[in-house]
Amino acid sequence: MSEGANAFDLIFSGEAKLYSIVALSLYVSVCAVALAAFVGFPLGAFLALSRFPGRSVLVVTMNAFMGLPPVVVGLVVFLLLSRSGPLGHWGILFTPRAMIIAQALLVLPIIVALSRQTIEDLWEEYRDELNAMRVGPVRCVVTLLWDGRFSLMTTLLAGFGRASAEVGTVILVGGNIDGFTRTMTTAIALETSKGDLPLAMGLGVVLITIVLAINAMAWGVRRVGELRAG
Amino acid sequence: MHAGMSDLPIHIDQASVRAGDVTILDGVSLAIAPGKPTILVGPNGSGKSTLIRLCMGLIEASSGRITWGGRNNQGERCAMVFQRPVMLRRTAAANIDFVLASGSRSARDERIAQLLKQVGLERLRDRPARRLSGGEQQRLALARALALNPDVLFLDEPTASLDPAATKAVEDIIRSTSDAGIKIVMATHDLGQARRLAGDIAFLVRGKLTEYSTSEAFFTSPATPQAAAFLRGDLVL
Amino acid sequence: MSRRIILAAVLAVSAGLCGQAIAQEKSIVVSSTTSTTDSGLFNHLLPIFKAKTGIEAKVVSQGTGQALDTGRRGDADVVFVHAKGQEEKFVAEGAGVKRFPVMYNDFVLIGPKSDPARVKGSKDIVGALKAIKGKSAAFISRGDKSGTHSAELNLWKQAGIDIAADKGPWYKEIGQGMGAALNTASASNSYVLSDRATWLHFKNRGELDIVVEGDNKLFNQYGVILVNPEKHKHVKKDLGQAFIDWLISPEGQKAIANYKINGQSLFFPNATAQGV
């Protein structure tokens, strides 16, 4: 990224580097959200449907953890994955996998808390009907998740937004290694520290554009889905 | 499902349901046996819906007991249609498919087609269920309940929010269902409807089963002053 | 039907997640300072090194103190930093194998063109710091235990000023990297000590310029150390040593000398073959 270059030149000249940064950002955030959803949706549904001692503590904790400071999550994952930490033998610090794990932890409370709320509201409506149909608990959860899919998609977007916008954890556990763990946000942080504010701003505009495009796409999918499924 | 093991008769023995200080059902005893429809009538708040939910096993009795075909466990061959049924967020056909337990794809499709035809919705097969009108949703709910192959079908004010034409369509389905040998237990506050459909009438007031007799006896010579007042439209609580 | 598609997508992503890191290549992790990255030196050196050896050096850039800690924990194979005292301690405690001097550059004192402390053009850094303190002119300190921060603290000491005790509101520690410190100085027209390389590469200068340079006390030596494989078994000692050997080889030294911005060299190679 030599002098005079700006983000738009980088895009339109098809500079491979920018593409790889964008691709890595999307890859990490999408994987993190998928991982968090895989665990978070069933957990949210479980919290919504079950009653056990300590449940409200868990619910409040998840609600509070939606605002978990990224740097703290980053630090915890960093200490876990460091060679001197308990999971050091995995050898994945400063790799995209470490970034995915950290972001997934960051996103998980959002998915759990919001999906619990969605599923609990839906359960209120569906409970008698599903019980009258003699539907078992596992199938209840699956049915509620599926029928709540449009609201849950918004939950996924909220998670994706948090993951893709975040810089604190990925710079700590990813190391911002050029061509390997550099994402949009860490690239913006780096260009800012180099004093190349126009390039940093340009990258910021690119990031916002991508996030907008993804949300627009999701909105379109939701509209079509709702038209088709009611 | 336990094929061959009927849920009928359902015996309700001195069942009470209380919520806090409020008694919703008060020592109700009733036997639901195969035959013509049993219609629960009574003013608002008399406990009709609660009695149906109790029979479905959706709530438990605070005291007393209830058995299905002589067994204590919740009836397996009971189905129910609510006043405002919940349509699953999928097509009409998929709503029925949801409760069809097993069978090949083609066998299920055949059963879905037959049930939709039975309730007159065959043309709306692929329509999202939530986009159907109120009457169509109620008929789809009936088809969905019938897909469970029930011995007994409970209906909680199924026409309360429908217009006369839709009400007639639903009543026709109820009648043909009853003719096909499925026991109907229905709550309604529409006396005309009760008269049109009933075999027996169970009359509830303030959670008590006040009168239980054949439809003819109930409408021509009610045994209690409350029933007489109710039929005149004079029952003031 | 669409449920199956979603399930398939989830499975595909999970599979990608697991398969991703299996592809192993010849690579090492180098923990280094912000100055070597922010100045663009690694962007210049690493492609040459990779072409020669096929080894990919992944650089994590942090302040010198943090970079050494990363090595200490075993999270890097090689450290490449500039704070001789800290580096010698690192080797002495057994965290590193051996320290090799690689190159030097120099620090410069950056200040606003209005020059409120009247130090511009001087070659005496100690005098300049005394003047800044005397006028209580705004000064930005890295405050992050980096090599530059150590050098700055050392210079205050040489000026006979106990900065920890004597600092006033004019002296601000920001606890961030060189670039952030320069951005802050630029926005507040303050003095700041910077390595020359980062300064030359820095674009958001505003009213800032070099005010003091050329003092011998501003000399800034870089060293490279292999993390001790006896402490951390996974350290890639052959690949890491290959990187060090190349840096101090005539070819690596020439590559360092060849890195220029606007015709100006940023780093001056001075490796001694035997190491320290």
Number of domains in chain B: 1
State the alpha helices, DSSP H only, in chain B: 48-56, 92-99, 105-118, 134-146, 164-179, 191-197, 215-220, 225-232
Q: Which two tokens stand for residue B21?
A: 């200080």
User: By the 8 A CB rule, do C66 and C49 touch?
Assistant: no
Nearest neighbour of C75 by CB, restricted to A38, A94, A96: A94
What chain B residue is nearest to A144 in terms of C-alpha separation?
Answer: B88
Judging contacts by C-beta atoms under 8 Å, the chain A residues touching residue C61 are 176
User: Is B216 contained in some domain?
Assistant: yes
Tokens 């499975």 found at: C11
Residues of chain A predicted below pLDDT 50: 1-4, 14
User: Is B237 contained in some domain?
Assistant: no
- Output the 3-class SS for A129-196: HHHHCCCCHHHHHHHHHHHCHHHHHHHHHHHHHHHHHCCHHHHHHHCCCCCCCCCHHHHHHHHHHCCC
CB < 8 Å from B in window 166-225 of A? none
Q: How many CB atoms lie within 10 A of CB B12?
A: 20
- A83, C232: Cβ pair inside 8 Å? yes
Segment C48-65, tens digit of pLDDT: 999 999 999 999 998 888
Q: Which two tokens stand for residue B163?
A: 């217009």
Does A229 reach chain B within 8 Å, measured CB to CB?
A: yes
Number of domains in chain A: 1
User: Is A44 contained in some domain?
Assistant: yes
pLDDT surpassing 60 at residue B154: yes
Does A124 reach chain B within 8 Å, measured CB to CB?
A: no
Q: Which two tokens stand for residue C82?
A: 């500039």
Q: Give the domain CATH number at A110.
A: 1.10.3720.10
- Give pLDDT, residue A9: 58
Instruction: Kindly indicate whether the ipTM for this predicted assembly is greater than 0.85, answering yes or no.
Output: yes
- Give pLDDT, residue B237: 64
- Give pLDDT, residue A86: 92
Q: Which two tokens stand for residue C16?
A: 């990608």
Diameter of chain C measured on Cα atoms: 78
User: Is A152 contained in some domain?
Assistant: yes
Q: Going from the N-terminus, what domains does chain C have, and what CATH number goes with each?
A: 25-104+221-269 (3.40.190.10), 106-218 (3.40.190.10)
Residue-number span of the structural domain to which A96 is assigned: 25-181
A96: left (phi over 0), alpha (psi -120 to 50) or beta: alpha
Residue A171: how many CA atoms within 13 Å on its side-chain side?
A: 16
- Give pLDDT, residue B9: 87
User: Is B116 contained in some domain?
Assistant: yes
Nearest to residue B66, comparing CAs of B77, B79, B53? B53
Nearest neighbour of C16 by CB, restricted to A31, A175, A181: A31
Per-residue burial over A120-143, b = 16 or more CB atoms within 10 Å of its CB, e = otherwise: bebbeebebbbbbbbbeeeebbeb
- Give pLDDT, residue C22: 42
Nearest neighbour of B148 by CB, restricted to A125, A131, A133: A133
User: Is B2 contained in some domain?
Assistant: no
Q: Is the dihedral of CA B85, B87, B93, B96 positive or negative?
A: negative
Give the three-state DSSP class for C240: helix
- A195, C204: Cβ pair inside 8 Å? yes
Q: Which two tokens stand for residue B84?
A: 């405002």
User: Is A212 contained in some domain?
Assistant: no
pLDDT surpassing 90 at residue C17: no
User: Is A223 contained in some domain?
Assistant: no
Residue-number span of the structural domain to which B39 is assigned: 10-232
User: Is B4 contained in some domain?
Assistant: no
- Min Cα distance B58 → chain A (Å) is 7
Query: What number is the average pLDDT over the span B7-23?
Result: 88
User: Is B62 contained in some domain?
Assistant: yes
Q: Give the domain CATH number at B189.
A: 3.40.50.300
At least 3 CB pairs under 8 A between chains C and B: no
User: Is A218 contained in some domain?
Assistant: no
User: Is A96 contained in some domain?
Assistant: yes
Given pLDDT bands bounded at 50, 70 and 90, which one contains residue C274? Answer: low
User: Is A166 contained in some domain?
Assistant: yes
Segment B186-221, tens digit of pLDDT: 999 888 999 999 889 999 999 899 999 999 899 998
User: Is A126 contained in some domain?
Assistant: yes
- Cα dihedral C111, C112, C117, C122, rounded to 10, equals 50
Query: What number is the average pLDDT over the span C146-163?
Result: 92
- Output the 3-class SS for A108-120: HHHHHHHHHHHHH
